[in-house]
Amino acid sequence: MEFIQQNLMWVGLAAVSGGMLLWQMLNGGGGNNVSVHEATLLINRQDALVVDVRETAEWSTGHIQNSRHIALGHLGKHLSEIDKFKEKPIIVVCARGNRSSSACGTLKKAGFQQIYNLTGGINAWSEAGLPMVKK
């Protein structure tokens, strides 16, 4: 008890971060996290679809070639556009990996089988020096 009183800030921080992880797990978010390297293997070997859930302004600054843009707020309305990919791997991308985690939950609930969340998002992709396009 004395430890908790002396380290109240750290205990609170641990409780909040643990709660956020638990909420994400219970909320159905997530999907399998994949690194940039694993994502490129899925794209090249299994013809994975990349779905970018960032907003249009973010998308315009650069995105993964051949990725499909569906902003997170519109994903539920546009699932029919990617329905033919229900059995194929889908890599979901946002700026850092947070919004894409939520999108993974939406796709899972809609019956998509192989959902992957790009760890670190488009920022990790860019930092790895991988190509991006603006068209």
Instruction: Give the pLDDT score at 135.
Output: 80
Q: Give the domain ranges of the chain.
A: 1-28, 31-127
Q: What is the per-residue pLDDT for 26?
A: 47
Predicted pLDDT at 28: 43
pLDDT in tens, 51-73: 999 999 999 999 999 999 999 99
Instruction: Look at residues 50, 43, 38, 26 and name the one whose alpha carbon lies nearest to residue 100.
Output: 50
pLDDT of residue 4: 72
Enter the pTM of the model.
0.78
Q: Contact, 54 vs 95, CB < 8 A?
A: yes
Q: What mean pLDDT comes out for the span 2-15? A: 73
Say if residue 27's pLDDT is above 50: no
Whether 1 has a pLDDT exceeding 80, the answer reads: no
* 133 three-state secondary structure: strand
Spelled out in words, what is the top-level CATH class assigned to the domain 31-127? alpha beta
